[in-house]
Structure 1
Amino acid sequence: MAAVPAPVTIATTIDRQGKRWGFTGSSFTSLSANPPMVMICLSKTASTHAAFTGCAQFMVNVLADNHGHIARRFAAPRIDRFSAGDMGDCEAGLPGLPDAVVRLVCALHQVLDGGDHSILVGRVEQAVTTGGEPLVYCGRTFTQLALESARV
């Protein structure tokens, strides 16, 4: 699967005690148009697993091509991923990246078994787009899309 390009996202949530949680994910995709739903996968052994599988809402931040350092930080274990201050309070009071290409506020619709991962199905309640080029993960590295206009 390393050869398959994927968008780079950071999912965020807040637990009942008000603690912020987040993880970098590239297993993210649209699931349904009506109702609008997305899915993102999270390892069952991740420190963030209980927070996300027990939350009411989460946000998916689709990262811009200059956000590789943020993606690496949110993938690192045993650190305060929010310490850099680049995540602010965004829609629905969830932590988000103000200059993410897309921010999706999702209600947790369902948690499905996906082997060693849980599949978080989110019903999209709000979508914000800011423009910019998305960060892509392919070949075990971050890369950028080479967008070219197609002639029809």
Structure 2
Amino acid sequence: MATVKVESSNEPLESVDTDAFVGAMRVQAAAVNLVTSNGPGGRTGVTVSAMTSVSAEPPLLLACVNRRSPSVAIIRQNGVFCINALSAEQSELANTFAGRPSSGEPFDFAAADWINITTAAPALVDAVANLDCVIHDIVEAGSHTIFIGRVVGASHRNVKPLVYCDRTYLAPGPLED
């Protein structure tokens, strides 16, 4: 393996200001997911866009949840969570679990149908994908808790996912020629 030498000054670099960072991140398209959990800590769900695979062997993924969310303590206590990738038709469900329901209460599990795949974490019946996980590791970083999960159950459907970009929901489509 080649070694790359990186030259830098000994002066520490300042972080970019928050507004510049948030502005640049706002235009990054991301899939919309519900992170759900159930167990000794209770049942919870929260909408997130920061989710990605970490490793195929073993199958690991991560989900970032704002530490201010009450879901963080519940997921930690339960030791399990399920990533439910939402379809293009499920923006209202995304709003409900983000605490912005147009009707009803936030975290309204009655708004959809749920099953269990492997763990007790609720899996959305008509999600694009369900990734049922046991907690592998937890990392605190800035304002968020990063849950790294070992995937113990998975399912998927071939439907359009819900995407969030520039403060709005979108459905991906083919590029025009």
1:131 pairs with 158, 162, 167, which one?
158
Query: Relative to 1, partners in 2 of residues 1:109 and 1:133: Cα closer, same or farther, differing over 3 Å?
Result: same
Deviations 1:13-63 (A, max 9, x none): 01305x310000000111111111110001111111101122221100000
Which residue does 1:89 correspond to in 2? 115
Partner of 1:59: 82
Say whether 1:13 aligns with 2:40: no
Say whether the 8 Å CA contact 1:90–1:98 is kept in structure 2.
Answer: no
The structure carrying a bigger helix percent of its residues is 2
TM-superposed deviation, 1:7: 0.5
Aligned counterparts, 1:22-101, within 5 A: 22-76=45-99, 79-92=105-118, 93-101=120-128
CA contact (8 A) 2:84 2:128 kept: yes
Greater RCO, 1 or 2 (C-alpha within 8 Å, sep 6+): 1
Give 1:91's aligned amino acid.
Answer: I
For these two proteins, the number of residue pairs brought into alignment is 149
Radius of gyration: which is bigger? 2
Kept in 2: contact 1:10–1:63 (CA 8 A): yes
Q: Secondary structure at the residue paired with 1:15?
A: coil
Find the residue that maps to 2:110 and give its secondary structure: coil
Give the whole-Å Cα distance in 1 for the aligned partners of 2:113 and 2:87.
Answer: 14
Give the TM-score taking structure 1 as reference length. Answer: 0.90
* Residues 43, 74 of structure 2: 8 Å contact kept: no
Q: Which runs of 5+ in 2 are unaligned?
A: 1-24
Stretch of structure 1 that moved more, 46-55 or 103-112 = 46-55
Please report the TM-score for the alignment, with normalisation by the length of structure 2: 0.78
Q: Does 1:120 align with 2:143?
A: no
Aligned-pair Cα RMSD in Å: 2.1
Work out the percentage of aligned pairs sharing the same amino acid.
30
CA distance in 1, matches of 2:152, 2:123: 15
Structure 1 position 114, deviation (Å) = 1.3
Pair 1:129–1:109, CA change in 2 (3 A)? same
SS state at 1:54 partner? helix
Give, in whole Å, the separation in 1 of the partners of 2:126 and 2:158: 8
- For 1:77 and 1:15, how far apart are their aligned partners in 2? 25
| Unmatched tracts of structure 1, length 5 or more | none
